[in-house]
Amino acid sequence: MLIKTPCLRRLMSDRDTIITEARHRRTFAIISHPDAGKTTLTEKLLLYSGAIEEAGAVRARSGRQRDVTSDWMEMERQRGISITSTVLQFPHDDLLFNLLDTPGHRDFSEDTYRVLSAVDAAVIVLDAARGIEAQTLKLFKVAQARGIPLITFVNKLDRPGLGPLEILDDIESQLEIKATPVTWPVGGDTDLEGVVDRRDGSFWTFERTPGGREIGEARTGRLEEMDSTPARAQASQELGILDAVAANHDIEQFLKGESTPVFFGSALWNFGIDLLLDAIADMAPPPTARASVDGEPIPLDGGLTGFIFKIQANLDARHRDRIAFLRICSGKFDRGMTLTNFRTGRTFSTKYAHQVFGRDRETVDVAYPGDVVGLVNATELRIGDSLNEDGAVEFPPIPTFAPEHFRVARNLDTARYKQFRKGISQLDEEGVIQSLHTRDGGERVPILAAVGELQFEVAMHRLKTEFSAEPLFDRAPYTLARRTDEAGRARLVGRRGVEIATRADGTILALFTNQAWLDGTLRDNPGILLDTLVGL
C-alpha cells in the first residue's frame, strides 16, 4: 500500500521505531534466597558488559576495594545484604538492559514482588551448596504465576557443593520445572576448571583475577582434545547422560515457563559470566503487549502507557529528592510529555525524567517499552499508579501483604515533629513500612505495620539519618491485620481485641491481638469483610 500523506507516513515510522526499540530491550530481575550471590552477579554482569571498569565487592575492605554498584544504601554496605531493589540500565552489544537486583530477605520480599510485576524475565540464582532454598521456592512461584520465563544460574561452584546432577534433580523435584543445562561445570570446589557449552561442545576455562575485580582471559577448547583429569572424565560422563536424556534448551517451553535453561559458574571468580550475559540477550524475551486490568493486551506501538512499581527517596544524598520508577509498557516516552494518572485523573508534566544506574542517574529524553524511567519529584505518584498519554489504561494493581508485625511510633523531639511526620509518610509511600492511623493515636502516634521485623530497623535508621527525626518505636499489641470496609468498621468499633486503623490511601484495617479474637469476630459477624490483602 502506498502511504500518501506525510503525517500518516510519520505515524507509521514512529510505530515501527517503537517496535524495533522494544525488540532491543531486555528487562529482567535477579532473584533468589538471601546470600546466593545476586548482587555479586549483578556487579559482574555490569563488568562484562562494560558498564563498569572494575567490580566491587559486597563486603569491601574500605580503601582497598570499591563497593558494589547495586547495594548503594548505607545500611546495605554496613551489613552486606540487599535491603532495597536497585534499577540499573546499561547497554550490552546492540541491546539495552534494564536489570533489577532484588533483596533476598523475606522481610523485604514485598519489594521483590513489586519488581517481579515490572520485568519480562528473571535470573534465579542458586547457591551450589544449598540448591533450592525456601525463599527461592516462594519467588519462583510468584514469577511462575506471572508467566515470567526464568533463567537459572548455579553460583559458588568454587566452593564445596552438591553435584550438578543433584542440583538439576532439586530444581525438577522442588520447582516442578524441566531443567535444561546449557553449560556444564568441569570440576568444582578448589579444582573448578571451567564450563562446557553444551550447544557446541566448547570448553571454556577462565583465568582468575585478584578478587575477581577485572575480566580475566577466557579460553575455549574441546574437552575431548585435552589431557584427561578426574574432573574432565567425570564431566564427559555426565555430558553423555544429559545427551541421552535430551535435556536440551527449548525456547518454546522456556517462554511458556515449562523449562529453565541452567548455567553454572562463580560470580565471585568470574566463571561463566559472559555466557550468562549472552544468554540473557539471546533467550530472555523482549517486552510484549501487557494486559490491562481487564485482560486486554495493550499494543506496544500505541500511545504511552506504564505503571509505577517502586518509589525511592533520597537515592542521591545531595539532592534528597524522590523518584517514582515507571515501567514503560507501550509507546514512546518523550521527556516533558504530559501524562495522566489513571487513579486521580490528574495530569502532570514529565520534565524531570532520569535513566537510573544504581544511585547514579542522568536525564533521559526518550525511552521505549521495557525501559524503566525515574520520574523525579512527581509527588502525587504512588506505587501501582497507571500512567497514560491518551486513553485510559489501567494495569493490574500491585498487591500489598497483610502485615504481621506492628509498632507504635512516637516522636521524641517536639521541635522535630515535622521531620518525623515527613519521614513516616515517605517510608509509607515507598512501602518500607505501612503507616496506620487509629482513632486514639491519630497522625501524631501512628502504628507502623510490616511483613518482617527488619523493616522496622530500616525505618528507624532511615528516619534518623535521612530525615533527622528522633523516633521511638514501642511494641504494639497486634499480631494480625485484615482489610475491612465501612460496614465492617461500624460493626467492629469498640469490640474487645480489635482496633480499627486506616492507611494513608484510605484502606480500613482491623488489627487483632491474636488469632482467637479474629476467629471470634468472624463467628459473631457472619458475612463481614475481613480480607488477608495478599495476592500475587
Ligand X SMILES: Nc1nc2c(ncn2[C@@H]2O[C@H](COP(=O)(O)OP(=O)(O)OP(=O)(O)O)[C@@H](O)[C@H]2O)c(=O)[nH]1
Instruction: Give the binding-site size for Mg ion (rule: CB under 5 A).
Output: 3
Q: How far is the CB of 82 from Mg ion (least distance, A)?
A: 3
Q: How far is the CB of 430 from ligand X (least distance, A)?
A: 18
Query: Residue 407's binding partner, choosing from Mg ion, ligand X, none, with beta-carbon cut-off 5 to 8 A by kind?
Result: none
> Shortest Cβ contact with ligand X: which residue?
104
* β-strand partners of 498: 512
Q: How far is the CB of 40 from ligand X (least distance, A)?
A: 3
Residue 193 neighbours by CB under 8 Å, 6+ apart:
186, 187, 205, 229, 231, 232
Q: Choose between 159 and 464: whose C-beta lies nearer to ligand X.
A: 159
232 binds Mg ion (CB under 5 A): no
What track of x and - describes contact with Mg ion for positions 275 through 314 (by CB under 5 A)? Answer: ----------------------------------------
Q: How far is the CB of 460 from ligand X (least distance, A)?
A: 19
Q: How far is the CB of 37 from ligand X (least distance, A)?
A: 3
Say if residues 71 and 360 touch (Cβ distance below 8 Å): no
Q: C-alpha angle with apex 381: 375 to 386, nearest 5 degrees? A: 95
Region of 38-46, 197-205, 409-417, 524-532 interacting with Mg ion (CB under 5 A): 38-46
152 binds Mg ion (CB under 5 A): no
Query: Residue 290's binding partner, choosing from Mg ion, ligand X, none, with beta-carbon cut-off 5 to 8 A by kind?
Result: none
**Cα torsion through 381, 506, 116, 401, rounded to 10:** 150
Query: Residue 155's binding partner, choosing from ligand X, Mg ion, none, with beta-carbon cut-off 5 to 8 A by kind?
Result: ligand X
Q: Choose between 112 and 411: whose C-beta lies nearer to ligand X.
A: 112
Query: Residue 40's binding partner, choosing from ligand X, Mg ion, none, with beta-carbon cut-off 5 to 8 A by kind?
Result: ligand X
Cβ atoms < 10 Å from Cβ of 79 = 15
Query: Residue 69's binding partner, choosing from Mg ion, ligand X, none, with beta-carbon cut-off 5 to 8 A by kind?
Result: none
- One-letter amino acid for residue 221 of the chain: G
484 binds Mg ion (CB under 5 A): no
156 binds Mg ion (CB under 5 A): no
Q: Choose between 58 and 393: whose C-beta lies nearer to ligand X.
A: 58
- CA 352, CA 400: separation in Å to the nearest integer? 28
- CA 381, CA 376: separation in Å to the nearest integer? 10
Q: Choose between 188 and 370: whose C-beta lies nearer to ligand X.
A: 188
Query: Residue 32's binding partner, choosing from Mg ion, ligand X, none, with beta-carbon cut-off 5 to 8 A by kind?
Result: ligand X
The three-class DSSP label of residue 304 is: coil
Q: How far is the CB of 60 from ligand X (least distance, A)?
A: 10
Q: How far is the CB of 101 from Mg ion (least distance, A)?
A: 6
If we measure between CA atoms, which residue out of 183, 185, 201, 181 comes closest to residue 193? Answer: 185
| 30 grid coordinates | 535477579
Residue 296's Cβ-side half-sphere holds a number of Cα atoms within 13 Å equal to 6
Residue identified by cell 538439576 is 168
Say if residues 263 and 153 touch (Cβ distance below 8 Å): yes
Give me the residues that bind ligand X (CB under 6 A), please.
Answer: 32, 34-40, 58-59, 81-82, 103-105, 155-156, 158-159, 266-269
Say if residues 375 and 327 touch (Cβ distance below 8 Å): no
Instruction: For 209-278, give the DSSP string.
Output: -GGG-SPPPEEEEEGGGSPP-HHHHHHHHHHHHHHHHT----HHHHHTTSEEEEEE-BTTTTBSHHHHHH
Q: How far is the CB of 372 from ligand X (least distance, A)?
A: 19
Q: Choose between 59 and 219: whose C-beta lies nearer to Mg ion.
A: 59
Q: How far is the CB of 236 from ligand X (least distance, A)?
A: 24
Is the four-CA dihedral 391, 369, 120, 36 of positive or negative sign? negative
Residue 267 neighbours by CB under 8 Å, 6+ apart:
37, 40, 41, 43, 44, 125, 153, 155, 156, 212, 273
| 323 grid coordinates | 523518584
Q: Choose between 69 and 266: whose C-beta lies nearer to ligand X.
A: 266
Query: Residue 35's binding partner, choosing from Mg ion, ligand X, none, with beta-carbon cut-off 5 to 8 A by kind?
Result: ligand X
Contact with Mg ion (CB under 5 A) among 27, 28, 37, 39? 39
38 binds Mg ion (CB under 5 A): yes
What track of x and - describes contact with Mg ion for positions 79 through 118 (by CB under 5 A)? Answer: ---x------------------------------------
- CA 442, CA 464: separation in Å to the nearest integer? 22
Q: Choose between 125 and 195: whose C-beta lies nearer to Mg ion.
A: 125
Q: How far is the CB of 57 from ligand X (least distance, A)?
A: 6
**Residues forming the site for Mg ion (CB under 5 A):** 38-39, 82
